[in-house]
Chains A and B, each alone.
Chain A
Amino acid sequence: MTDEANNNVKVNDALTTSDEANPEQIDASESVRMDPSIVEGNKVIEKLEFHPEPVEEELPHVVPPYTILFGRRIETDVYNVIFGILAGITLAEVAIAAIFDASFILRTPLLVGLSISKALMVVAFYMHLREDSRVFAAAIIIPALISLVCTLFLLGVPYSSYTVAP
C-alpha cells in the first residue's frame, strides 16, 4: 500500500470512529472539515475540527445596527438616532418659544420649519416612506399640499365681514 493510500485509510478510520463516538456529529458530518496540515506525510490524524456553519435566517428587512450620519458611523440603528434628533428638536422648539416670546415674526417661521422637519423625519424613517413606493408618497403629499393652499387662502380672507362703502 502506498503512503497516500495509507493516509486515506487512516482518515476514513478516524472519521468512522469519530462518528461512532458522538452520534450528534453524524448529523453535522457535512460540516466536518479537516485541517490539511494534520495529514501531512505518514502522521496519524491528530484531531478533527468541527466548523458548524451558523444557520442564518433570511431577515431582509431588519435595519443595520449602525447609522451613517454626515459621514460619521454611529453604533446604533437609525430608529434610535431619529428618536434622539426628534427629542433634541423638541427641546430646541421649547427654548425658541421661550427666547423669542416677544417676537412673533422671528418665532413663527423657525418653529414651523422645525415642526415640518420633525414630521418629515417621522414620515420618511418611521413610516418608511423613504423606501416604499412613490405612489404612497403621492397619496399623502397631494392632499397635504391642497390643504396647505386652502389654509393660506383662508388666512387671506379678512376675519370680520367686508364693509360696504356708503
Chain B
Amino acid sequence: MADLSLDHKLSPKEKQAALRIENLKLAMWLFLASEVVLFSVLIAFYIVFRFDNPEIVAEVHEHAGLFLVTSNTFLLLTSSWTMVRGLVAIQRNDKRGLAMWITATAILGIIFVSLQVVEYRALSAEGITLYDSEFGMRFYVPTAVHGLHVIVGVMWAFFVVRGARRGNYNAKNYLGVEMFGLYWHFVDVVWIFLFTLIYLI
C-alpha cells in the first residue's frame, strides 16, 4: 500500500526511499514467518493431544462453553476492522480519525485479554490448571502466548496513537501504521485457527 514502485521515473532519492519501505515490509513479513513457526509448534502440540485424547477434550469443552470465547473472537475480528479503518483514515490524511480508530483497536484488545483472564479463572475453578491437568499445558500455553502477543499489540497501538497525535503520519507517510496493522492482523489470523482447533473441534 505505502509502496512506491521502483520505476525508472523516480529520482535516486525517491528510489532509495522506496527501497527502504520495501525492505522494512519484507523484514516485517520475515518476522511474521518466524511467528508462524512458533505458533505452528504450539498448535501441533495441541492437535496431537486432541487426536489421541478426544474424551478429555470433550469434557473440557463441556466445562468451558462457547459464549465467552465466541464473544472474544468477535472482539478480535472487530479490532482488525477498526485497524483497517484507521489505515483508511490516514490514507485520507485524517489524523484524528487515525488516532480514534487505533485507540478503539487498543481498547478491544484490552477487553479481549480481560475476557481471557475471566476464562482462565473459570477453567481453574473447574480444576483445569497448567500443571494439574493433561489438557492444561496444551491449552494454556498457545492461548497465553497469543494473549501476550495481544498485550504487545495494545502497547504498539498506543505508540501509534501517540505518533498520530504528534503528527508523525500523513497520507504520504504511514508506514508505521501499516507495520502495526500487519502485526495486529497476524495476531487475528492466529486466533482464527486457535478458536477453531481448540474450542470448536
Contacts and interface: CB of A to CB of B under 8 A. Distances in A.
Interface of A: 57, 59, 61-63, 77, 79-80, 83, 86-87, 90, 93-94, 96-98, 104, 107-108, 111-112, 114-115, 118-119, 122-123, 126-128, 131-133, 135-136, 139-140, 142-144, 147-148, 150-151, 154-155, 157, 159
B182 A87 contact: no
Interface residues of B, number: 51
A123 B193 CA distance: 13
Contacts, number: 133
A90 B70 contact: yes
Contact of B84 (A104, A126, A135): A126
Contacts of A142: 33
Closest 10 CB pairs of A and B: A147-B40, A159-B52, A115-B196, A151-B44, A97-B200, A83-B81, A139-B29, A79-B84, A136-B29, A143-B33
Contact of A140 (B29, B78, B93): B29
Given A87-B74, A150-B40, A122 B189 contact: yes
A90 B80 CA distance: 14
Contact of A114 (B51, B66, B196): B196
A108 B43 CA distance: 15
Contact of B85 (A79, A108, A119, A143): A79
A108 B196 CA distance: 9
B44 A79 contact: no
Given A87-B77, A154-B48, A94 B25 contact: no
Given A136-B29, A154-B48, A127 B182 contact: yes
Given A94-B70, A133-B22, A147 B91 contact: no
Contacts of A115: 192-193, 195-197
